[in-house]
Structures are given as C-alpha cells and as structure tokens.
Structure 1
Amino acid sequence: MKKGWRSWLPLMAMVMMFLHVNGEDPYRFYTWNVTYGDIYPLGVKQQGILINGQFPGPPIQNGVEQRRNSWQDGVYGTNCPIPPGKNFTYVLQVKDQIGSFHYFPSLAFHKAAGGFGSINIASRSVIPVPFPPPAGEFSILTGDWFKQNHSDLKAILDGGHDLPFPDGLLINGRGSNGYTFTVDQGKTYRFRISNVGLTTSVNFRIQGHKMMVVEVEGTHTVQNTYDSLDIHLGQSYSVLLTADQPAQDYYIVVSTRFTSQVLTATSTLRYSNSAGSVTGPPSWWTNN
C-alpha cells in the first residue's frame, strides 16, 4: 500500500509545479506615504492630500470588500485615525470580487483635500467575462471641487450650514482641458468612471460616441447603450466605448446635474491617428 502511494509522488509533484507556475499571484502589496502638498486643480494654489506625491492617489489593482475585517473600513468608530508619522497595514481579501470602485479618506472632511483614487478589481482569468477583452482601459475620477481649504469647509458644516456652490469640476485632478485619453481607431476601450465629489451629481458624455454600460460597482449589468450617464455621489460605472468615428479629437464632457447653475469640465478623447484638434464648444454643453 505504501509503495502504491509513493508511486503517485512524481505525478503529484508535477501537478503542484504546474499549479504553482500557472497560478495567479494571490497577494499585492502597496506602500503609501500620505502627506500634504501644494496642488492647483483649478489654477489656485491649495493644500491637498498627496499619496506618494500624487493627486489623485495611485490606483489600487484589487480591493475592496471587507471580510472578517470590517473594523478597518476607515470609518470613525470602527477604525481609529492614523496618527501623523505612524503606520497602519490594511489586509483585504478579494476572492470572488470584480469591478470598479474608489477609495477616499472618511475623517475630518479630508476628502475635500483629495486622498482619493481608483480601485480596479480584475476578473480571474479562468472566469468568463460577458464582453470581449478591451484593447485598454482608463480610470476617470470626476466630481465637484472647492477652492476653500478642507478645514474651512468642515467649519461651515460644523456650524450647521450647507456648503457653498462648488467652484468647479475636476477630471482626474485637473480642470478643463487638462487631460487627454488616446485611443486607436477601430478598437474598443473600457472606461471606469467614478464620482468622487462632495455634493453634486454629474452627467458624463463623450462627443460623438455611445457608451455601453457593462458593470456597476462590482456587478456585471444588462448591456445597454447610452449617449450620456448620470453618475451620483460615490457611484462607479464601467462602460465600453468603440473608437468608430472619424480620426480626430473629441470632447469628454462632465457637467453638474440637477443644479440651477451648470458647471462643466472637459477632457479630450484623441485618436492616435487624429487628423485635427477638437474645435468649437462641446456638444450637449448643458444638462439634458
């Protein structure tokens, strides 16, 4: 009996070696240095939160559901603040999760100073996804922004008053015309879009292109196609966009939704073989 058991050892060893070589990496490690620094998102110098010197913060490729560790979800009362100069290690298990999310600070109204970034959880390679693999993907963090310091805004709320109307909208930490997304004609791309603002819903659209919604906050959806999307505070969507228009530049437009005064910010969708720059005002400049 022992001899028969030992005869399986070489085969078992080969199987284990195969699984080890072809297995997906079960761990990802991130080290952050969180500091204050000067930022100029709307052209005015402000004190913002930098993560490894970046605003917005770096993307996390994997995240986010708390499993047996809900006490480190970042909310005061379950998670103590991290003192200046000290460290804290988060341990997250992401088995069986997929999708588009974002992170942000939840204490002392620090979110008004930045400290946010994208969380993108890729599907395991052995699990089918209900759409063909895109040629590439982009994360878009958009939302309202205030020129006032976050501590001043916190004082307004602590005094029992509403926040003032925002000073502008940002796309990936920049105001209008501050960011360009380059695509190849004929290919399809995934855009992960999050509203990281404080007070305002936004409408998102890409001039001359339609968007197919394929995922909302970790769940694959019925695949409907839209000209524009309303994205409310804290929401995240994944859309597929096919670069099937003439080769030129197009506006990416974000505007406030359900506000009497409409704020707008733009970026550029650029075809790699673009024959011309975007000109004129963006289409659908105002809310639909």
Structure 2
Amino acid sequence: MSKKRIFFISFLLLILSFSLVGCFSEKVPSATKNVSLDVLLTDRPVSDIDELHVFIKDIYFTYELNGESFESTPVTINKDYDILSLAGTEVTLFSLDIPEGSELGTIHMDVEQEATVIITNNNYTATVAANGKLVIPNAGIDVNADGELVIDFDAASSLKQIGNTNNYKLIPVLKPSFRRKNSTDIFAIKGKVLDVSENPVSKAIITLSATITNEPTIIRVSLTNKDGEFYLGKHENGKYDINLYTNVILPEDGEINFDSLASDYSTTLYINSEDVNITINLNQ
C-alpha cells in the first residue's frame, strides 16, 4: 500500500433534500423558533482506487437544549454513493428543522456492512467496521442560525488494505463542522488545472492554506475531477495559499506530511467579497 499513489478529493455531498419537521422522538422541546440545518458530506484523501461505494441507510443525532437531552428520529437515506465521483460538486443530502440554540451531541450514521472498492474494473469488498454503525461522538456544535452541517469523510485515514491482498477494511473517520447558510460574507474558491497542451489534469491534489494563530494551516484538500475542475469550499475575506501536487506516495501510516513535499505549483490568492475562480497551467 505504501507504494500506491494517493489522490485527494474534496467534494460537498449535501444529502437528499427534504424538510424534517417535528421529527424528534420521545421528548420534544418547547421552542419558539426552529432553524433549518442542511446536512452535507465531504471527503478527503483516498488512495489510487477508481471508485469507493458506500450505501448509507439512515442518519440520526442527539442534541441538548436548555439542559435537556433529545434524540432525533432517523432520517432514511437508503442510497449508494460513490465517494470519489463528486469532486468539485455540491449535492444536497437532506434538510431538517432543529430548535434554535441547540447543541449537537452525537451523530449516528448507519451504512451497509460491506462497501465496494473498484480498481481497473475489478470489484473488491471492504468490510465496514462496527457493523456499519458509525458514530461521531461529542460534536459540540451550537446551532444558533440556519446553517449547514458538513460531515468530513476522511477516506485516506479510513480505507485500509489488508497486507498485500485485495482485501480491504473501512474504518470511517468522520469529522463534523458547521457553517452559516446563505451567508453573505463567505465566498467560493474553485478552478481548473490544465497541462501544457491545455488538457485537463485529473486527480491532482490541491491544498488550501491560511494563517491560523500565526501558523500556516491546511484548511481544505481537494482532488481535480476528470475535467480538471476542483472546489475548495467557501471562506471569509482574506489571504490564502494554494499548492498543487501530481505525484504523492502514501506512507505506511496513511498520513501525508506536505511540509516534506515539493509542490508542482503554488500561488497566493485573496478573497475580496466575491467568489474566486482560477485556472492553473502546469508547464510539464
């Protein structure tokens, strides 16, 4: 596995769009106002496989309001998703109403116990850990306005090859974050990568960095799709650095140290109250 090339993808998979009103089981909080929460799925690094299919059955979560705990009714999804097919896209999963001022606690995702890995038209089975009962504990996210719950599926840390066989195990690493919905002060960064002949470059790794507490920090990783397009999410006004990599070896521990790598392209860009759309030309 250490000699296989690693490709990164960052996409937004916004889950099955419908309103879920009055869906909370057992105790229902008395709230004067609800806010709308869209649930999104995004993923990060993946090794050099062609497709990774995960069948999501349902999602539910716990939350607290005024010191009391509540549990939502599961939202039925029942759909297969190819995690690698959505680079540069945003697709809605589902929406729900939740009392304003709630704090999300634990997020539960139920998936099929076997995922499918496809490499050069060959299908392999990836056994999903915990019998497909995935849990994100202690999210600790305050929901005080309409927003989007982004669930980051870190596939590079999740998908493991068993020895030198074609057997795989999926131990999903899921990381949630929240952003305000329809915010007027965050803007998209997207673009396209072309080679010297103006052909699109697919499966190139793009990193977006910003200075956080005086340290440059990678805040987003994306993979170009078959058309060379990438999407790095929405961000506030400010200065950002982009680096592009075309050949990266996956280390044994699944973690890539970008500080030790030389990028094939780098640039600095500024968000100034509008979306940024750039074209990167590789001279190689």
TM exceeding 0.5? no
More helix by share: 1
More strand by share: 2
Q: What TM-score, normalized to structure 2?
A: 0.29
Higher relative contact order at CA 8 Å, sep ≥6: structure 1 or structure 2? 2
Q: What TM-score, normalized to structure 1?
A: 0.29
